[in-house]
């Protein structure tokens, strides 16, 4: 829960104090993924979550984040796309921990992450329609 609080405020603080940077945004994203891995790993390792459910929830969460990063790199706006972005997943995780139902929360996150990933794939497919230049970009980078 604490990592979610920091995640919600760090970008805001950087904007307020004029300290935004590309590296800061990159580093924030890396730390977000590290914290997700640590949270799921701890829940699985301590047997609070069945390993298979935890693995699918973690994998789904990472793929949701990756799909956003990759699609945005290619020019598709992904903010707000999908039913379970990181804040929603953290909220589910926190609520299920408080209710002592972490396994059920991880299962819900696993399911919603898969749905979110599919929603992002469909969105990217509809917004990234021009693929003619990919071969030309690869040849130029060559």
CATH value at residue 99: 1.20.120.1760
Q: Which of 10, 28, 32, 130 is catalytic?
A: 32
Q: Any catalytic annotation for residue 28?
A: no
Query: Does any domain span residue 85?
Result: yes
Query: Does any domain span residue 43?
Result: yes
Q: What is the pTM of this model?
A: 0.78
Q: Residue 93: which domain range? A: 32-127
Report which of 142, 43, 25 is spatially closest to residue 100, judged by C-alpha positions.
Answer: 43
Query: Does any domain span residue 92?
Result: yes
Query: Does any domain span residue 17?
Result: no
Query: Does any domain span residue 55?
Result: yes
Cα–Cα dist 37/40, whole Å: 5
Q: Which pLDDT tens digit goes with each residue over 15-74?
A: 676 777 888 888 888 888 998 999 999 999 999 999 999 999 999 999 999 999 999 999
What domain count does the chain have?
A: 1
């Amino acid at each position: 829960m604490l990592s979610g609080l920091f995640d919600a405020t760090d970008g805001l603080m950087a904007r307020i104090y004029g300290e935004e940077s590309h590296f800061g945004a990159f580093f924030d994203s890396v730390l977000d993924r590290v914290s997700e891995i640590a949270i799921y790993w701890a829940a699985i390792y301590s047997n609070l979550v069945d390993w298979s459910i935890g693995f699918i929830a973690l994998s789904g969460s990472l793929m949701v984040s990756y799909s956003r990063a990759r699609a945005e790199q290619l020019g598709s706006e992904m903010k707000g796309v999908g039913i379970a972005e990181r804040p929603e997943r953290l909220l589910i995780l926190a609520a299920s921990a408080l209710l002592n139902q972490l396994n059920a929360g991880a299962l819900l996150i696993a399911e919603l992450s898969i749905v979110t990933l599919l929603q992002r794939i469909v969105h990217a497919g509809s917004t990234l329609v021009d693929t003619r230049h990919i071969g030309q970009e690869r040849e130029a980078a060559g």
